[in-house]
Amino acid sequence: MYMNMKKNVGTIDRVIKVILGLVIFALGYWYQTWWGLIGIIPFVTGILGSCAIYSMFGISTNKKADKTTETVDTVQEVSEEVK
């Protein structure tokens, strides 16, 4: 099953999420607790570059995706004016 999820996590945000996820996972392993599995969430979010919570609230830290969306919107507006 293929899901087309918008990339809404920027580069710095992705790096922070991957590192934080690994730290949480490592602490869970170190202290032998299941709470370390929570580290999977920021880790996977950082690897994939898409965050479901960001999508629900309309947040995007990915400046490249924002510029692409603006360009597409502008092209659509211009094409509607030409019609």
pTM of the model: 0.70
Taking phi over 0 as left and psi of -120 to 50 as alpha, with beta for the rest, 32 belongs to: left
DSSP single-letter state for residue 9: -
d(CA 70, CA 19): 31
Supply the pLDDT for residue 1: 45
Q: What parts of the chain have a pLDDT lower than 70? A: 1-4, 66-83
Render pLDDT for 61-74 as a digit per residue (tens, 0 to 9).
998 875 655 544 55
Boundaries of every domain in the chain: 11-82
